Structure 1
């Protein structure tokens, strides 16, 4: 195998951290939703997730203030809406209305859950000490919901510059189950 030098600005696309999610937050006037692709698990129990938001994102301020959110995991069928949500700001647009995203109330947090997503995680901020410097929040999942009818979701994974990979095939290796 012959390897060649690769641009550092494109490294993100090689190691994308997980499925693209829709992060919903509650606000004083209305809830907001943003597309988020920088997310990764950091602990099994309690389930902790790290997510990265830009300080200029409208949702960044809402998450800092409310200290809770929902992470909603869409499948490929919502790809166009996921991209549209990511291409505008909740400061100017009610994204739920603009993109036809139906919601329902969460059980443990003030942020809504998105009906069309196959899974939703209700989260509370567990640690925000690195938010000012890096935009990094550690979230604790306090309630999880999944659509049992969806057996093998085809999730979106951001590769950068408008490119996405679609995951969905599951393989099981006996050697990995030891």
Structure 2
């Protein structure tokens, strides 16, 4: 085995799906790209990592709500563009050709072009680690999309898309919650 520099170790574990997080500050909606996500358990709880360096953070902290939108790989260039400009001076929906849709329970919009949208409420902010814990309150799938592959950031400017699926549900049955 070869030693790996510790400053690159995160690239071994970063590969959760790239998501878009929408917020609304009471005046306008914004989108930020997040590559650091975590499923908390078998309940609809998730965590994202973000902080004051992101323009959307103030709206997320004040409103205590957001939408997690999961884009497909055909949106990769828009998603990267969203993550490399600021909502302080850019209408990201307009610039990247994305359609905001009124959510049912939160003021942040859904994104029509995404594979799925999850309306969330903030249930905890762990400021020392820039972790926002979210609880899903509603969710939507976009079954009309032709491209359904989510994609994942490696952390070094490269990405991978979902590929072959391996079904081991029978082997895993004892560990899966009812209905999954």
- Settle same-fold status: TM greater than 0.5: yes
**Closer, same or farther in 2 for the Cα pair 1:29/1:152, shift >3 Å?**
closer
Which of 159, 163, 168 aligns to 1:164? It is 159
In structure 1, C-alpha distance between the alignment counterparts of 2:141 and 2:128, rounded to whole Å: 33
> Which stretches of structure 1, 4 residues or more, deviate above 6 A after TM superposition?
none
Q: Which of residues 129, 135, 138 is equivalent to 2:130? A: 135
Q: Is the 8 A contact 1:75 1:153 kept in 2?
A: yes
Partner residue in 1 for 2:142: 147
Secondary structure, aligned partner of 2:128: helix
Residue 19 (structure 2) pairs with residue 24 (structure 1): no
Q: CA shift at 1:148, angstroms?
A: 2.7
Stretches of structure 1 that go unaligned for 5 or more consecutive residues are none
Moved more, 150-159 or 166-175: 150-159
* Whole-angstrom distance in 2 between the partners of 1:119 and 1:99: 18
Name the structure 1 match of 2:173.
177
Contact 2:33 2:83 in 1 (8 A): yes
> Which residue of 2, 10, 13 corresponds with 2:11?
13
CA deviation after TM superposition for structure 1 residue 92, in Å: 1.3
Could you tell me whether the CA contact under 8 Å between 1:31 and 1:111 is conserved in 2? Answer: yes
1:75 aligns with 2:72: yes
Aligned-residue offset at 1:150: 5.0
Counterpart position of 1:63: 60
Find 1:110's aligned residue among 107, 119, 126.
107
The answer as to whether partners of 2:73 and 2:147 remain within 8 angstroms in 1 is: no
- C-alpha distance in structure 1 between counterparts of 2:111 and 2:69, whole Å: 6
Deviation at 1:54, TM superposition (A): 2.7
Counterpart in the other structure of 2:117: 120
Q: Secondary structure at the match of 1:43?
A: coil
Per-residue Cα deviation, 1:18-68 (whole angstroms, up to 9, x for no partner): 1000000002331000000111110223x1101100321111111001100
TM-score scaled to structure 1, two decimals?
0.91
**Distance in 2 between the 1:32 and 1:76 partners?**
21
Give the distance between the partners of 1:78 and 1:165, measured in 2 at CA: 13
